[in-house]
Amino acid sequence: MKTANRTILVAGQPSHLADAFNLAYADAAIMAGMVHTGDWTIAQIKHDLAAAGVPVRKVW
């Protein structure tokens, strides 16, 4: 079985997620801890990601 290398990045703020997508070319990122603590809302994160040039869905 062929496996791919995976890198796990811990995101504590939206800029960390933007770096994961824009610099590390990640296909996905986990942000549950950011919203679980109440420090960030999904809307805030999506706004910051869009401002950093990361494509995000506007409606979900």
Q: Which of 60, 52, 44 is nearest to 20 (CA)?
A: 52
- Domain containing 45: what range? 14-51
The runs of H, that is alpha helices, within 1-60 are 14-22, 32-36, 42-51
Q: Is residue 47 part of a domain?
A: yes
Q: Is residue 59 part of a domain?
A: no
Q: Does residue 60 carry a pLDDT above 70?
A: no
Percent over 70 (pLDDT), the chain: 82
Dump pLDDT digits (tens) for 24-42.
888 888 888 889 989 999 9
Number of domains in the chain: 1
